[in-house]
Amino acid sequence: MVDNPDMEARTMSLAGVLVFLPQAHHDERGFFTRTFDAVIAREHGLRPEEFVQDSQSRSHRGTVRGMHGRGGRGESKLVRCARGAVHDVLVDARPSSPTFGRQMSITLDDESFAHLFVPPGVLHGFQALTDEADVCYRIDREHAPGEDLSVRYDDPDLAIAWPQPVTLVSARDRAAGSWAGLTEELLSAGDAARRPGRPASAGR
C-alpha cells in the first residue's frame, strides 16, 4: 500500500465499502485539503479512470434523499459533503454479499472531509443535518433512469434511524417500493440466472 500522510483509507462494516479520510491543513487563512487521490484509490481496488460523471445536490435541514440504487451491473460512486453535514446511510442489496441486508451509517461533513466509496449493489441515502448541505457524487456510469432502484426511506423492515425529524422527501422517494419487494426481486433474479438451460439472451 502507498504510505501517504495526506490521505487514509479505512474499510467499513459493509463488504467493499471504504472511507477516505484526508488530512486537512489549517492556518490563519482557513484550510486546504485533498479530496481525492487516484494513487490511493487504485491501491484500494478502485479505477479512477472509470468515473465519468460528477454531480452535486443541495438539501435543507431534515431533508431525506434515498434509498437509491441501480440495477443491471450497478454503479460505483464516491460521495462527500462539501458544505454542512449529512447522516449518510448504506444498505447492502447484493444477494451474494456476506453483508447482504445489513446497513451502516456515517456522518459526512465539511470538517472531517470524509469521502465514502459506495460499490455497485449498495443502496444509498442521506439526511441533511445542517441548514444547507451540499453533497458531491462521482459516478462510474452515465445516468440511466430505467435502471433506477429505490426503497422507501421509512421502510419498516429497514427501520433506518434518521437522527432528525424528516421535513422533506421527494414525491419519487415517497413512491418507492419496499425492502421486502426488492429483495424478493433480487433473489428471484439470482435464482433464474443460476437455473440450468437458461437461454443466453434471457434477462437482457
Residue-wise pLDDT for 17-69, tens only, equals 999 999 888 899 999 988 898 999 999 999 999 999 999 999 999 999 999 99
Decide if 153 is catalytic: no
**What pLDDT, on the 0 to 100 scale, is given for residue 192?**
55
Determine the average pLDDT of the residues in 127-132.
98
From 25, 60, 115, 137, active-site residue? 137
Parse the chain into domains and list their residue ranges.
Answer: 7-193
CA-CA distance, 79 to 124, in Å (whole number)?
10
Decide if 143 is catalytic: no
CA-CA distance, 80 to 115, in Å (whole number)?
5
From 25, 68, 124, 153, active-site residue? 68
Q: In what order do the strands lie in the sheet with 132-139?
A: 7-11, 18-22, 115-118, 77-83, 132-139, 53-60
Q: How confident is the model at residue 195 (pLDDT cuts 50, 70, 90)?
A: low
Q: Is the pLDDT of residue 119 over 90?
A: yes
User: What would be the CATH architecture of the domain defined by 7-193?
Assistant: Sandwich (2.60)
